[in-house]
Amino acid sequence: MSERVRGAMGKSSRRKWHFAGEASGLEIRDLTVTYETEAASLDTVRNVSLDIAPGEIYGLVGESGSGKTTLARAVVRYLPGNGRIKGGTVRLDGVDLLELTKAEVRRVWGSDITMVHQDPNTSVNPSMPVGEQIAEMARVHLRLPKPEARRKAIEMLTKVRMSDPATVARRYAHQLSGGQLQRVLIAIALTTNPRLLIMDEPTTALDVTTEAVILDLVRDLLSEYQTAVLYITHNLGVVARLCHRVGVIYAGEMMEQGPIRGVFKEMLHPYTLGLLGSVPRVDVDKRDIVLNTIPGYIPQPDNLPVGCIFAPRCRGVEEACRTARPPLVAADGEAGHLTACRRWQALRREPEEFTTTQQKKDFVEPTTGDVVLEAVKVKKYFPVSGVGLLDLLRGRRPVVRAVDDISVRVRKSFTMGIVGESGCGKTTLARCIAGLEKATSGEILLEETKLPSTIAKRPADLLKKIQMVFQNPDASLNPHHTVGASVARPLALLRHLSKAQIQERVEELFQAVNLPRDYIARLPHELSGGEKQRVAIARAFATDPALMICDEPISSLDVSVQASLMNLLAELQDTKGTSYLFISHDLAAVRHLSDWIAVIYLGRLWEIGSALDVFTPPQHPYTEALLSALPIPDPDARQNRIRLHGNVPSAVHIPSGCRFHPRCPRKIGEICEKEEPPWQEHRRGHRICCHIPVEELIEKQKVGGR
Amino acid sequence: MTIYLLRRIGFILLTLFLASIIIFAATQALPGDVAQVMLGQFATEEAVANLREELGLNRPAYVQYFDWLGRFITGDWGNSMVSRQPVRPLVVARIRNSAMLAMMALLFYVPFGILFGVIAALNREKPLDQIISGFSMAFVGLPEFVTGLLLISAFAFALAVLPANSSIAPNTSFREAFPSLILPAVTVSLTSLGYVTRMTRASTIDVLNTDYVRAADLKGLPRVQVLTRHVLRNSLLPTVTVVAMGIGYLIGGLIITEAVYGYPGLGRLLVYGIQRRDVTLIQACSMIVVTVYSLSNLIADILYSILNPRIRYR
């Protein structure tokens, strides 16, 4: 269906308006969107203009609160009840979408404009087979009778490279993985060959390996379509991999816009520069650089600065920046490169003036130092819930082998990074070490003392030596206590300090995590996400722990906030000599902060070594695939295209031989299915668990080699 | 699915077995001696002893229990301790009456409850929603004897279109009983309608706010199709449970409504039995009520699993 089918559907005869014969794409001019609240009208998106040509993928990047989702919802006329389009025009192939009546808009939805949403797990109707959800698009918009619509659904599933499409079509949402569901949603969105496709963070909820597969699919698939694509994301790496042009939106206004290479290689706005500088890179780490941070906060729509809206956070601000709002102007050089910075020429000449990225001093060799934590052969099996009566009678108790024989060692003032896809067992391992979960077997030693298995059995002086920072600060801080009280709690419980001493110590801790003193008396809801996480870090440091376990501590935050927290963690480690166990699915963050990295898949360790060794060949094929999937914010980045297909097998029915063999892109043969792979020592404690000899891995993993 | 059903049925049998023990124990614990009650205050000791022997009351309790259970399962529900007549025909006739009333009530309040609930959800926080929510709250709160008396004075006396007394003769056909059923059914419905409305409203609002309904909207499906295929299918799940659980109440729990209209239902028979310490009658009625509760739960579970593919048949 590469030909446009609209004429054949006879729609135009019933419409008062017509899409132009010649497709001209999406054209947004001076769009302003307002939310009416009890207090005020908030102009959340202001005077945004952008064009997307047919067949072009336009990336709209911004942090949370930048108005990117509001913009998308305004374009499709699907704003919440208190939202209103205050001004501007939105034209799609010549038709002004803002002029259409409600009923007309509904006819445009699904046929001319389609959308793919963020969370595939909640965007698919749970009580209808997925094939039917594609087929109804074909029935309603393409007017196909039932059997043909069903065939169309299977055709679309084939198109999104679903294996066994006919079977999948009969499945329900709960029977499919997130990656499969996102394919279904893409299939739905492309069924009618729309003029405009809006994708709102379509891969954010997915694992990095799944994300890579979906991004490949989207890029390859869209090259066949003449659809204009608005791709919304906060991830600069995804934009660099996928998009033709990019717009950077900040607090509801466009800051910079241009072709992908122009914006990434020669950014002309300090905000773009700041964002790119905040993203950790895989070629340097905490010992080489301090990440760039953007101080301050995104301004609220009812409290905007008079001049440039980025001025209060800009390093290169001048007096003139604060007096008048600079317009979006065309810079010379590459065509269509626009910037809202009046100092763009200065920025191009001396970008250093605009960032805080700094080179750091020399570092210690990461193989020395006392061992702080040693986990030996830790196993954690969970019983499967809802075991059938028959299984019980037969004496079979299926178990989830969440952690299955993992040993790691963390040295003093080092960071051990643990990476793996979701469900690989990394969090369970951390919880066993922290004593929140009773390990099924294995030993955990802290400074050569064997730790009792659970927190309840650990005495106070052991408890204070291991502290934890969790992923979601909203859930880990008591909303009814002031944040100061939360930080004071471990001091009173574990260190038995007097009131005055506690007060003094809390102040010190707040200073150490760069929070102003008056924050001590605030409640969690008065703080931003990044600030709350700083409080959680202060609380963890309150007892001067020897080991701090950070379980995805930055994953729910914006990139610039992530950068400042990573800098803070690195700085605190430098001054206090604390060891970290840093768990994350974000490879770049792990690479930045870790001295050593352990790679986990299905409850087992597959590769361990210094951060540099793990990130350069030879690598375990799983590590290689993770790294190859990582979206790097550089359109010229050269990465081998190693992709993992299929879903992570369940930890109940673990594959025989090498557990990774069903998905391994470098499987060598029967040996992988039958025998457990051996550990091979590469160098300096860099070890890989694989049947392929190290020398062969080096050869295979050269860039460009296959 | 078959295994699931077998398991569920086995579970119901277990429930009924446990319930029968409790019912039997409870009737044993009723104050007063049955033989004494039957013969009256002035009976001689001898006469009471003879009757006790005749009724088998001197045997150990567990023997009596298994004797009763065995007879009950085989269809011999025993003779009334008061009238000495078999209780089964009486109870069966009342079950039939209660079922007729229950069906009428369900036909009233289920469609209207769902309709009002959906309308309220679609007009959330608007005047229509507030009116519906207000009324449904009021009817849930009003006792049945109040609504019953109001309806009687309106339709039986003022308008004189329906009978005030619904004491139908045994084995009256549904068609003949129909006019007598309307007022009691409406009375019952007014209370239950509120529950169904509020449950439907709440779950429909939840579903309307889901990502998949937003996605269905943006697929450009006609609004009606979004509602029927994507919203209701999911939002009626809790309503199904509420309705099915209500069936047990409709069969055995309509004591007040039946009293107001003089309707010969199972609930009133049970009260009658308790007042006269008619142990056999109490046991038979209670067992029937428990059975109906269990079966309506089974129906709810089956319907739920058909409507909800996420339920695995374990």
pLDDT in tens, B11-48: 889 999 999 999 888 887 776 677 777 777 777 888 88
* Same domain for A131 and A199: yes
Q: Examine residue A248 and state whether it is found in any structural domain, yes or no.
A: no
Look at residue B50 in the predicted model and tell me its pLDDT.
85
Does B311 score more than 80 pLDDT?
A: no
CA angle at B267 for the pair B140 and B89, rounded to the nearest 5°: 150
Structural domain count of chain A: 4
What residues of B are in contact with residue A127 (Cβ under 8 Å)? 233-234, 307-310
Question: For tokens 């009486």, what's the residue?
Answer: B90
CA-only gyration radius of chain B, Å: 24
Q: Which of A402-411, B17-26, B63-72, B166-175 has the lowest mean pLDDT?
A: B166-175
In whole angstroms, what is the distance from residue A246 CA to residue A262 CA? Answer: 9
Measure the CA–CA gap between B309 and A629, rounded to whole angstroms. Answer: 34
Q: What is the 3-state secondary structure (H, E, C) of B160-199?
A: CCCCCCCCCCCCCCHHHHHHHHHHHHHHHHHHHHHHHHHH
Shared-domain flag, residues A219 and A291: no
The tokens for A706 are 């296959």
**ipTM exceeds 0.90:** no
Mind giving me the DSSP string for A167-213?
Answer: HHHT--GGGS-HHHHHHHHHHHHHTT--SEEEEESTTTTS-HHHHHH
Q: How many residues are there in chain A?
A: 706
Please provide residue A667's backbone torsions phi and psi, each rounded to the nearest 5 degrees. Answer: -55, 135
Domain that holds residue A130: 7-243
- Would you call A454 helix, strand, or coil by DSSP? coil
Closest CA to A568 of A597, A595, A530: A530
Contact assessment for residue A410 and residue A429, using Cβ atoms and an 8 Å cutoff: no
CA B65/CA A629 separation, integer angstroms: 71
The pair phi, psi for residue A6, each rounded to 5°, is -60, -45
pTM over 0.90: no
CA distance A687 to A409: 13
**Long-range pairs, B108-113, Cβ under 8 A, ≥24:** B108/B185, B108/B186, B108/B189, B108/B193, B109/B188, B109/B189, B109/B190, B109/B192, B109/B193, B109/B196, B110/B196, B110/B243, B112/B189, B112/B193, B112/B197, B113/B192, B113/B193, B113/B194, B113/B195, B113/B196, B113/B197, B113/B200, B113/B239
Contacts of B310 in chain A (CB under 8 A): 126-127, 172, 174
With cut-offs at 50, 70 and 90, classify the pLDDT of residue B179. Answer: confident
User: A181 and A118: one domain?
Assistant: yes
Q: In 3D, which of A594, A567, A658 has the Cα closest to residue A620?
A: A658
Are A173 and A104 in the same domain?
Answer: yes
Burial class (CB in 10 A: 0-12, 13-18, 19+), A163: exposed
Asked if A358 has any chain B CB less than 8 Å from its own CB, the reply is no
A172 is a domain residue: yes
- Letter string b/e over residues A198-231, b meaning 16 or more CB atoms within 10 A of that residue's CB: bbbbbbebbbbbbbbbbbbbbeebbeebebbbbb
- The shortest C-alpha distance from B131 to chain A (Å) reads 21
Which of A110, A119, A386 lies closest to B211 in CB terms? A119
A127 touches chain B (CB under 8 A): yes
Same domain membership, residue A177 and residue A109:
yes
Residues 6+ apart with CB under 8 A from A465: A446, A447, A543, A545, A546, A547
* Residue of B205, B219, B233 to mutate, interface with A, max A Cβ within 10 Å: B219
**B230: chain A residues, CB-CB within 8 Å:** 125, 128
Q: Residue A79: closest CA among chain B residues belongs to which residue?
A: B214
Q: Are residues A70 and A217 in the same domain?
A: yes
Q: Which residues of B touch A78 (CB under 8 A)?
A: 214, 217-218
pLDDT, tens only, B148-160: 888 888 888 888 8
User: Which residues on B lie below 8 Å from A128 (Cβ)?
Assistant: 229-230, 233
Q: Who among B212, B229, B310 is closest to A123 (CB)?
A: B212
Compare B163 and A680 and report the one with higher pLDDT.
Answer: A680
Q: End-to-end distance of chain B based on CA atoms, in angstroms?
A: 8
Q: What span, in angstroms and rounded, lies between the C-alpha atoms of B18 and B16?
A: 5
Do the chains contact at B217 and A109, CB–CB below 8 Å?
yes
Q: What angle do CA B65, B80, B76 make, to 5 degrees?
A: 55
Q: Which of A335, A359, A383 is the last residue of a domain?
A: A359
Q: How distant is the Cα of B118 from the closest Cα of chain A, in angstroms?
A: 19
Q: How confident is the model at residue B131 (pLDDT cuts 50, 70, 90)?
A: very high
Place of tokens 């960071």: A415
Lookup: tokens for A602: 């299905």
Strand order across the A415-419 sheet: A466-469, A547-551, A579-583, A415-419, A596-601, A604-610, A686-689, A679-683
Question: Is the Cβ–Cβ distance between A442 and A620 less than 8 Å?
Answer: no
Q: What per-residue confidence (pLDDT) applies to A579?
A: 93
| Shortest alpha-carbon distance between residue A124 and chain B (Å) | 5
Co-location of A221 and A321 in the same domain: no
Q: Percent of chain B, pLDDT > 90?
A: 24
* DSSP string computed for A29-63: EEEEEEEE-SS-EEEEEEEEEEEE-TT-EEEEE--
Q: Which secondary-structure segment (H or E) carries A358?
A: strand A358-359
B234 pLDDT more than 80: yes
Q: Which of B216, B218, B222 sits opposite A125 (nearest CB)?
A: B216
Structural contact between residues A90 and A253, judged by C-beta atoms closer than 8 angstroms: no
A572, A577, A684, B217 from A580: Cα distances, Å: 11, 10, 20, 47
- pLDDT at position B240 over 80: yes
CB contact under 8 A, B229 and A136: yes
Q: Are strands A466-469 and A547-551 parallel, antiparallel or unpaired?
A: parallel
Nearest to B211 among A78, A122, A137 (CB): A122
Q: Is A170 inside any structural domain?
A: yes
A374 part of a folded domain = no
Give domain status of residue A678, yes or no: yes
Q: Along chain A (706 residues), what's the average pLDDT of each consecutive run of 10 residues?
A: 40 55 87 90 93 94 89 93 92 91 90 92 92 95 94 94 91 90 94 94 87 91 91 92 94 94 91 89 79 84 89 88 90 83 87 72 61 92 66 66 91 91 89 92 91 88 90 88 92 85 92 89 89 93 93 86 90 90 91 92 93 89 92 85 82 87 90 92 89 89 61
- Any idea what the CATH number is for the domain that residue A215 is in? 3.40.50.300
* Contact call for B218 and A115, based on CB within 8 A: yes
The first and second tokens of residue A8, run together, are 């054949």
Specify if A365 maps to a domain: no
How far is the alpha carbon of B96 from chain A, nearest alpha carbon, in Å? 37
SS3 A159: helix
Cβ of A110 within 8 Å of Cβ of B219? The answer is: yes
Distance CA A415, CA A411 (A): 8
For B309, which of A115, A127, A386 is closest by C-beta distance?
A: A127
Beta-bridge partners for A403: A380
Mean pLDDT, all residues of chain B = 86
Residue that wins the pLDDT comparison between A256 and B252: A256
Compute the distance between CA of residue A360 and CA of residue A477 in angstroms, rounded to an integer: 34
Gap between the Cα atoms of A347 and A682, Å rounded = 45
Report the alpha-carbon angle A114-A119-A120, nearest 5. 70
A315 and A168 in a single domain? The answer is no
Contacts with A111 from chain B: Cβ below 8 Å: 220
- Among the three residues A511, A528, A544, which one is the final residue of a domain in this structure? A544
Contact A610, A231 (CB under 8 A): no
In a domain, A593, yes or no: no
Whole-number percent of chain B with pLDDT over 70:
98
Closest CA to A50 of A62, A42, A39: A62
A-chain residue closest to B124, CA distance: A81
At residue A441, the 3 state secondary structure works out as strand
Number of helices (H), then strands (E), in chain B:
15, 0
Domain boundary among A481, A512, A544: A544
Q: Are residues A68 and A186 in the same domain?
A: yes
A150 in the same domain as A104? yes
Are A464 and A494 a contacting pair, CB within 8 Å?
yes
A141 found inside a domain: yes
Residues A130 and A173 in one domain: yes
In A, residues 298-327, which contact B (CB 8 Å cutoff)? none
pLDDT at position A352: 79
CB distance A174–B214 less than 8 Å?
A: no
Residues of B in CB contact (< 8 Å) with A are: 7, 210-212, 214-223, 225, 229-230, 233-234, 307-310, 314
Q: Cβ contacts (< 8 Å) between B233 and chain A: which residues?
A: 125, 127-128
A142 and A180 in a single domain? The answer is yes
| Domains (range + CATH), chain B | 2-73 (no CATH), 92-203+231-307 (1.10.3720.10)
Contact A124 B309 (CB under 8 A): no
Q: Minimal Cα–Cα distance from B217 to chain A, Å?
A: 8
Written as one string, the DSSP assignment of B222-245 is -HHHIIIIIIIHHHTHHHHHHHHH
CB contacts < 8 A (A, B)? 78
Q: Do A119 and B210 touch (CB under 8 A)?
A: no
Q: How large is the average pLDDT for residues B75-92?
A: 85
Residue A191: CA atoms inside 13 Å, Cβ hemisphere, count? 38
Strand partners, A600: A605
Nearest chain A residue (CA) to B304: A127
